[in-house]
Chains A and B, each alone.
Chain A
Amino acid sequence: MINSLFLINPSGEMFLEKHWKSVVSRSVCDYFLEAKEKALEPEDVPPVIHTPHHYLISIYRDKLFFLSVIQTEVPPLFVIEFLHRVAEMIQDYFGECSETVVKDHMVMVYELLEEMLDNGFPLATESNVLKEMIRPPTILRSVVNTLTGTSNVGDTLLTGQLSTIPWRRAGVRYTNNEAYFDVVEEIDAILDQSGTTVFAEIQGVVEACVKLSGMPDLTLSFMNPRLLDDVSFHPCVRYKLWESERVLSFIPPDGNFTLMTYHVNAQNLVAIPVYVKQSISFFECGSDGRLDVTVGPKQTMGKTVEGVMVTVHLPKTILSINLTATQGSYTYDNGTKLLVWDIGKLNPQKLPNLRGSLSLQAGAPKPEENPSLNIDLKIQQLAISGLKVNRLDMFGEKYKPFKGVKYITKAGKFQVLTITASINKYT
């Protein structure tokens, strides 16, 4: 299965390597580095590369390449999924996944990798099990460690591996028993220049933070489960019970985990929380143009839209811009031609507007491409699909847990298309 893993930073430095079988020389990465050189963006590096003796399967995540070396047939998704788990594990342990973090915790990451695979085959990938074997660092503990010279390796023998509920460790005890669920929805949409929805769908996820003692068996039900068009579950969820009764029945992992992800069909009309009025135009003659963008609230169910941000990739031939924003501020990077307008909260009484002039490089033809606007936004206390949690019941334990549900809506890939108009020379 998986022979070796290399972590590579964007400049091509291999800063961590781990081998689960015989050592593979790091020169094998040259094939990958070559492909990386060729690619315009790091995302464009092919995920699977065939070399004379090995196969290289890589992912790009959090500005790092996770490159695995394979020698024989293995389902590529098996490897890709595992590599993402590695990234998630680092994120989970150290709060972020970055080169600095890995370099700071080299030994611990190495030990974790040792536990995650045995002879290249996944052994323990559940965060619950791993955390019992190797405790994540906390500030207090790292102080204690430096003073006493102990480390984070579990000092008792672990039982996590022995459970048939591989995702939950045994003997969990809390003084405050609590279970929180966050329903987070992202709207993916493409609106055309007139504001009509070309495409819209909602991706949702139920994130859970469950800190309950013992072996609680939870049942979570929704007011309107039929909304959900497609779902996928954490392995703890009893699939068949969902299929028959549309309830989520599960023995939860301890701590944070993703309970389910779902998709709301575009068929059930997706509410679009904002509208964007925009025009980008260039004069037929000369080298000037104009940009005018207004953002306003649309279907917000009475909630405030916050964190609004508009990002535009302007045409390459733009030389400079001169814009004024009535709210928020904008930044423009002339190298990447990236215009970012950070608006903040939307005020329906006074709509934010950004307008001004664009100037093209002298002699450049009118740009052909139509830049699209990418919108970012956030709405608290609202699941835009209308999904609502009905109730949460607990069986198997006697105590009364504290329960809570939070809703939040965000923009996913939310694009507004434009058509650059040309204006006849005004005389």
Chain B
Amino acid sequence: MDLKKAQTDPILDPNQSNYVYHLALDIGGSLAKVVYFTKDDDHFVDGEEGLSHRKALEKSNGSRQYPVLNGRLNFKKFETSKINDCVEFIKSMKLHFGGSQRQAIPGSQPIAVKATGGGAYKYADLFKERLGIILDKEDEMDCLVAGANFLLEVVHQEAFTYMGDQKQFVQIDQNDLYPYLLVNIGSGVGMIKVEGEGKFERVSGTSIGGGTFWGLGKLLTDCKSFDELLDLSYRGNNRAVDMLVGDIYGGMDYSKIGLSSTAIASSFGKAISDNREREDYKPEDIARSLLRMISNNIGQISYLNALRFGLKRIFFGGFFIRRHPFTMDTLSVAVNFWSKGEAKAMFLRHEGFLGAVGAFMSSDKHGLKELLANQVVQRTPSKLSFAVDKIIHGQPDGDESIECSVYAA
């Protein structure tokens, strides 16, 4: 690698690029995810002053001196069905203006923004029309994997396990990260075998994913949002709708094959009762049953695929998880059950934003990737100035940001 080149790239010079390096989109079937970078000093600014102010810090890193841009990587989600909200948001934040220049340059080329997800195709015209930006489509899976690799390699305590309300961060040795199975639970579920940077293959998937949960949930309950449904599930009891092993064997375990009486024999198997209609079941119970059914299934298929390809770790990501403890718990239980305790489900703190982060990374004008790949990662990551200090919880729909510093040339 030519380190020199990496260092000297004028990565923040807006005049040499029409890319908006600080914004990337992942427009999925259900949710549109936005990742954008803000400098510390204009993070909360509504864009009126000091806009082009660049605060370059000199920071020591080995023998070299680099300018560092302190700022935050921000994450925001919108429901795809409300794509207009997303457009408005970008507009209001003036993220669609090139670089630090918060005004369109008349007569210049249209500005391109990295984007991934199926919606990057579907809504291309909308973005062009409303914001005058061109969505530069990046391959979805490339982004997903790049995002996961980046987060796992760079962000301290990105991965964790979750069992029985116990969250435990897992420190992954970067030299021993690969191969792993990345299970991305969006509307559907993609299962990707990752063997290294840019080395990956979609090995499996299932159509029973987040979209199924929300779609069936919407049909079966009066919930207005995915999160409402999730919240509901937390309060429910699936015994009312699921046929348990105990229901079949008169309360006894079928221990011969290792099934306890509380194991689910048939999801929704009790809903076949002649005398009860949909209204007779509590929406909480239905939500709970749905969630368990789907999580369980994803956990099982993931484990079988990990087994098939000899992958030691399974990371679950995607918006379905939403750091919902119960979802993570059921996925963990499923993996634990099917692997007889040999495998553990792991989660990423930035699940849901893998694609967007990957898209963000794909425009290496900001230099993150170069720097990280060539210098930081190969050296001492703990001393990285790209450090996640805290996660700032924003609005309920999942805004958050990572405080970070970006080296500038």
A binds B: no
